[in-house]
Amino acid sequence: MAVSGFQFDNTYAVQLEGFYVPWQGEAFPAPSIVRVNDTLARDLGLDPAALDSPEGAAILSGKTPPEGATPLAMAYAGHQFGGFSPQLGDGRAILLGEIIDTKGARRDLHLKGSGRTPFSRGGDGKAVLGPVLREYLIGEAMHALGIPTTRALAAVTTGEDVMREGPKPGAVLARVAASHLRVGTFQFFAARRETEMVRKLADYAIARHYPDLVGTDAPYLGLLERVAEAQAALVARWMGVGFIHGVMNTDNMTISGETIDYGPCAFMDSYAPGTVFSSIDHQGRYAYGNQPVMAQWNLARFAETLVPLISPDDPDRGVSLATEVIDRFPTMYSDAWTAVMCAKLGLAEARDEDTDLARALFEAMEGQGVDFTLFFRGLADGVRGGAGARALFDDPAGYDSWHEAYTLRQSHETATPEARADAMDRANPLYIPRNHLVEAALIAAEAGDLGPFNRLLDVLETPFEHREGREDYAAPAPADADPYVTFCGT
Ligand code: AMP
Ligand code: MG
């Protein structure tokens, strides 16, 4: 079956000359589809069966650009672990173009692992199967959890081995995103003092993501505020499911508010705010509990790029207006976090004391070895009249006093306990991508068995729903499991 139907409408390539290098993917020896995301393909107006073919594999590996594509490597810079790199860019990826999906939304189609580009620096431009499937799995899990994210359209093997700690099967992830505009994209031109280029980019970002700001009095300040709000909401959602991004560099922070770049990310098992999985994050810069602060830090870097646009004639005024937005971030975040926590706690009618109540819960959980995910399902079980979450605590004294306050707070709710518990189960997943399960699925996949990957993905696609016979997927790693470690740039 012929692969057709890519309805490209490529604004980035047409409107932002100078922000990229036109570039082709590598001519891989034998591209082969590992998995196509059928639902997402259909959302994009594509035929999944047609994509699952040698022709589809050639397209989705970057070997053969489809009709209408304008493949290119995007330029960007970024602060990585606090240090500024003026030139990063798509070192192993290309943007094929933009597709208008069946709902009318514009989506980037991007290939990660498609070979070297002018931005590769010392890298080989490649990706390998394990990390590609990891991004597929975790991105789709995040989507199913209702968290804004880039998504996987397909995973493709390239037919060549790539050297990592040994030879590994080379692979490409076909990724779909609201856009690939990053804080680092702005930094690339701001660092070069190319203010007119930053303006062009900001105008493009506003038209694409925040079009109601077009024609307003202060569109660039508005852009800063919207991105800050989007990131506050996003990080609050991460915190609500125990997600640790792991590499919140400014090149990995989107303007759209989607999660991007699933490298060293992982979900926390027992609650501990200092949790870090990344092998290189020795200082805990991107630890679970530090994510809101790092988001604010990144937004301050974004603000710096916009200052010359916010107030061209009076830089001091630009700085003070931008600073005012950044200073409001903790409030934006706290509001978003409280909303997430109220949903998790089954509190539909927001009250002033809810933020403190939620904070007190986290204090009670600290040092108790409580599984973060199971705790909230247990809490709902208690609301329903079951055994509850108490048994998860090593010493439940702190939890008991918190629970008294929670019980009192619940008396202000009008819904029945049963209805509240059901609402909690719709806000609190039973299944998250448990590290040991992800690892086992990837090891099997690299050995040629996709069964565990497919079964895990299937469970993660409906994370709130109890699945008969899938109880193991809800359980934490065995207590004697080795500490989990993740890696960047795999
Ligand atoms: P990341 O840590 O994935 O956000 O990547 C940071 C930067 O390194 C980006 O510019 C990537 O394109 C680049 N990069 C990561 N891995 C490779 C690789 N294997 N080859 C070339 N560039 C890479
Ligand atoms: Mg990145």
Q: How confident is the model at residue 86 (pLDDT cuts 50, 70, 90)?
A: very high
Query: Mean of the per-residue pLDDT values for the chain?
Result: 97
User: Mean per-residue pLDDT for 367-385?
Assistant: 97
Torsion region of 242: left, alpha or beta (phi above 0 gives left; psi -120 to 50 gives alpha): left
Q: How far apart are CA 395 and CA 21, in angstroms?
A: 59
Phi, then psi, of 478 in degrees rounded to 5: -55, 145
Nearest-angstrom CA–CA distance, 387 and 134: 35
Of all protein residues, the one whose alpha carbon is nearest to atom 13 of ligand 1 is 91
Distance in angstroms (rounded) separating the CA atoms of residues 233 and 373: 20
Of all residues in the chain, the percent with pLDDT exceeding 70 is 99
Q: How much distance in Å is there from the Cα of 126 to the middle of ligand 2? A: 13
- How far from 303 is each of 82, 83, 204, 296, 450, CA to CA, in Å? 16, 17, 17, 10, 44
pLDDT of amino acid 349 = 86
pLDDT digits (tens, 9 = 90+) for 426-453: 999 999 999 999 999 999 999 999 999 9
Range with the lowest mean pLDDT among 246-250, 254-258, 477-481? Answer: 477-481
**Catalytic residue of the set 251, 269, 371, 425:** 251
| Helices and strands in the chain: count of H runs, count of E runs | 16, 12
**318 pLDDT tier (thresholds 50, 70, 90):** very high
Q: Is the CB of 261 under 6 A from ligand 1?
A: yes
Q: Is the CB of 73 under 6 A from ligand 1?
A: no
488 lines ligand 1 (CB under 6 A): yes
Contact 86 CB / ligand 1 (< 6 Å): no
Q: Are 96 and 136 in contact (CB under 8 A)?
A: no
Separation of alpha carbons 429 and 393, rounded Å = 20
How much of the chain exceeds pLDDT 90, in percent? 97
Ligand 1, atom 15, lies closest to the CA of 489
Q: Residue 145 in contact with residue 55, Cβ under 8 Å? A: no
Question: Which atom of ligand 1 is nearest the CA belonging to 263?
Answer: 3
Taking the centre of ligand 2 as the mean of its atom positions, its distance from the CA of residue 360, in whole angstroms, is 35
Sequence-distant (≥ 6) Cβ neighbours of residue 165 within 8 angstroms: none
Q: Cα-flanking dihedrals φ and ψ of residue 164, to 5°? A: -125, -115
User: What pLDDT score was predicted for residue 339?
Assistant: 98
Quote the CA–CA distance of 442 and 449 in Å, as a whole number.
9
Other C-beta atoms lying within 10 Å of the C-beta of residue 57: 26
- C-beta 209 within 6 A of ligand 1: no
**Within 10 A of 105 (CB to CB), how many other CB atoms are there?**
11
The CA distance from 364 to 287, in Å, is: 19
- pLDDT confidence tier of residue 488, bands split at 50, 70 and 90: confident
Tell me: pLDDT of 3 over 80. Answer: no
In this predicted model, what pLDDT tens digit does every residue of 37-77 receive, in sequence order?
999 999 999 999 999 999 999 999 999 999 999 999 999 99
CA of 38 to the centre of ligand 2 (A): 26
Residues whose CB is less than 8 angstroms from the CB of residue 253 and which lie 6 or more positions away in sequence, other chains included: 182, 183, 184, 231, 260, 295, 298, 302
pLDDT category of residue 5 using cuts at 50, 70 and 90:
confident
Q: Any idea which ligand is nearest the CA of 263?
A: 1
Work out the number of other CB atoms within 10 angstroms of the CB of residue 128. Answer: 21
Look up 394 and say whether it is catalytic: no
Cα distance between residue 11 and residue 204, in whole Å = 9
- Residue 83: burial class (beta carbons within 10 Å; 0-12, 13-18, 19+): exposed
Burial status of residue 182 (CB atoms within 10 A of its CB: 0-12, 13-18, 19 or more)? buried
User: Apex CA 225: angle with CA 220 and CA 229, to 5°?
Assistant: 145
Residue type, 33: I
Alpha helices (runs of H) in 54-128, residue ranges in sequence order = 54-61
Residue 1: band (very low, low, confident or very high) from pLDDT cuts 50, 70, 90: very low
What was the pLDDT predicted at 107? Answer: 98
120 Cβ below 6 A of ligand 1? yes
Angstrom distance (rounded) from CA 262 to CA 202: 26
Number of the ligand 1 atom closest to the C-alpha atom of 124 = 20
At residue 2, the pLDDT reads 59
Distance of CA 383 to the CA centre of its chain: 31
Rounded to the nearest 5 degrees, what angle is found at the Cα of 397, between the Cα atoms of 394 and 398?
95
pLDDT of residue 59: 98
Our CA angle for 173, 174, 179, nearest 5°, is 120
Q: Taking residues 374-378, what's their average pLDDT?
A: 98
Q: Could you tell me which residues are beta bridge partners of residue 259?
A: 149
CB 432 within 8 A of CB 373: yes
Band of residue 482 on the pLDDT scale cut at 50, 70, 90: confident
Ligand nearest to the Cα of 112, by number: 1
